[in-house]
A and B are shown apart, each in its own frame.
Chain A
Amino acid sequence: MRVLDWIVFVVYLGYVIYLGARKGKGSRDTRDYFLANRTLPWWAIGLSVMATQASAITFIGTTGQAYVDGMRFVQFYFGLPVAMVILCATLVPFFYRANVYTAYEYLERRFDARTRLLASLLFLVSRGLALGVVIYAPSVVLSLILGWDMKLTILVMAVTATTYTVLGGIRAVIWTDVQQMLLIFVGMILCLLIMIWELPGDVTVIDALYLAGTTGRLRAIDFSLDVHNEFTFWSGLIAGSFLMLSYFGCDQSQVQRYLTGRSLRESRLSLIFNAFLKVPMQFFILLIGVMLFVFYHFEKPPLAFDQQGVQYIQTSAYRQQYRALHVEYDRLFEARQRAARAFIAARREGDRERLAEATATYQAMNARLEEIRRQSAQLISRASGKTYNDTNYIFPTFVIRYVPLGFVGLIISAIFAAAMSSIDSELNSLSTATVIDIYRRHLKPQADEHHYLLVSRIATALWGVIAALFALYAGALGSVIVAVNKIGSYFYGSLLGVFVLAIGVKRATGRGAFWGLLAGMASVYLASRLTEIAFLWFNILGCGVVVLVGYLLSLKR
């Protein structure tokens, strides 16, 4: 990054802290600090809901995934509009009218205190640990881009987000999320325009799309019924609906957003806003990744995008093999570029025979080039002793190498914005669950509002410190990160099951809900150990077991 980019970046960080402090000034009680006195408009909540879901790794990882794997990931979001409709018709009115601070507070009113405590603790443990990963994962990539020590990147991200969240509470979180989401939109549009601009003059966008289509990267829909396949139409629509129901209906980091609506209408509209926008937005992000794939036909990409891996191999016994792969890679890159140009020319001429021949040649070249990349990743894995995956480095590499002066700062700011808009919401919701469900309910029920407000700010700061510490040491924990990511899938579907019991099963009791929840999580754990089912289906399993066990136990009074 050059001076102008640094100026843009520093101005962005300063502005976010200023905005957060200004918007959240004057919080006098926990209702204002956690619910903004229920005064916010639907569009601000809607953008905050979107910003909370889209972390930095979604932004850089999704583009990288489209580069490698194409558009099929878009199917993952097909369940979202369905879930939003169901939530608007069921859970949202319940939460809003119950006048609760947390989703779990409602469980005590319907069942008992222990079910609320269990649900809240599950949220705190899984979200608290996951927040460390939300900070750590983009820090790895961003520190390489910025040339910073990773600890510094983690600290800048965590300290900035924690500062304005402590100062301003949810009002600061939502209004900064609005600005940050707008910055993310600008960053995305800018990237796509730059990519199209940087294509050779004789290659149009339509040519680029046909080229990507030839490799199967534009296959957005897959109707196969394979339950082991992660991204199909059916897994996205059916299992994805359950995941989205769980995430938007039972995860405090999302529920708290729509509890701030100035009326039930505003809360519902904030979710409907996401129902309309989310799938097109994901399509757009994936399209950036696909266009990047085409862009790198005419500008040579590195053989391995994560340069740290390359450093490993340069000092290892595999360096000769890697050098030989690189020579082959250089040759194939030129050959693929010629084949791509031949394909474009044949398509324009409309000669079917020539087109078929050009398509076959291009596909063969592309497959060989991808095989070289796969072999290079294997070599680096062997040299470093760690699994090598450079998907998250593809998009940032483009930003650093090809984006013009000033815009790099803007796009890096957009990536930071994506990270911080998730971190702030999670900090705020962790603090809410800690203070409302644990501290005020079980530890100190009779204190005044001034005291609770102070404790809320301290809890936010403490969660910021815990998340930063976890992120700082996450690299050394290795498999723990994988485990943390899995915790969410164990608990989401089961938690949804408890809320289904609460609202849909009239005779469900506290005993049924409590033991049903534990049974649901145990069943998902067993399924993940004993079967190869794709993780999206776990949510249906967990929800189903909770409802069934909860119902049966509720029959025995």
Chain B
Amino acid sequence: MALAYTSVAIRTAFGAMRTFMGSQSHDERPPLFRTWGQLYAAVLIFLFLIIVLLYLFTIAFDEVSA
């Protein structure tokens, strides 16, 4: 069961990746970045920074654990 599930997950991920790669070629460029991939990376980096900031915010004011 687990093997079947893993196999489906890998095939699905590859299918989605093919879709992703295919969708890159025909589109207009996004603003500020050269490719959509770069813009997506910027979104994820932004999310990472927000999470880091929220973590710092949490520990900065957390007098309970301090």
Contact residues of A with B, CB < 8 Å?
71, 74, 78, 81-82, 84-86, 88-90, 93-94, 209-210, 212-216, 218-221, 233, 263-265, 268-269, 272, 275-276, 279-280, 283, 359, 363, 500, 503-506, 544, 547-548, 551-552
CB distance from A138 to the nearest CB of B (A): 28
Q: Are A89 and B47 in contact (CB under 8 A)?
A: no
Q: Are A218 and B15 in contact (CB under 8 A)?
A: no
Check B62–A213 contact: CB distance below 8 A. yes
Which residue of chain B has its CB nearest to the CB of A223? B55
CB<8 Å pairs between A and B, sample of 16: A71-B54, A74-B54, A81-B47, A82-B47, A85-B44, A210-B63, A213-B61, A214-B64, A218-B58, A218-B61, A265-B28, A268-B30, A269-B31, A275-B46, A503-B16, A548-B5
In B1-59, the 8 Å CB interface with A consists of 4-5, 8-9, 11-16, 19-20, 23, 27-31, 36, 39-40, 43-44, 46-47, 50-51, 54-55, 57-58
Residue numbers in B under 8 Å from A82 (CB-CB):
44, 47
B48, closest chain A residue (CB): A81
A219:B62 contact, CB within 8 angstroms: yes
The count of chain B contact residues (Cβ–Cβ below 8 Å) is 36
Give B residues with C-beta under 8 Å from A. Answer: 4-5, 8-9, 11-16, 19-20, 23, 27-31, 36, 39-40, 43-44, 46-47, 50-51, 54-55, 57-58, 60-64
Residues of A within 8 A of B47 (CB): 78, 81-82, 275, 279
Q: Is there an interface contact between A504 and B20, defined as CB atoms closer than 8 Å? A: no
**Minimum Cβ distance to chain B for residue A293 (Å):** 13
Given contacts A89-B36, A272-B39, A500-B16, 6 further A-B contacts (CB under 8 A): A93-B27, A210-B61, A219-B62, A504-B16, A505-B15, A551-B8
Question: Judging by beta carbons under 8 Å apart, are B19 and A81 in contact?
Answer: no
A268 partner, pick from B12, B36, B58, beta carbons under 8 A: B36
B8 lies within 8 A of A93 (CB): no
Query: Are B12 and A505 in contact, CB atoms less than 8 angstroms apart?
Result: yes
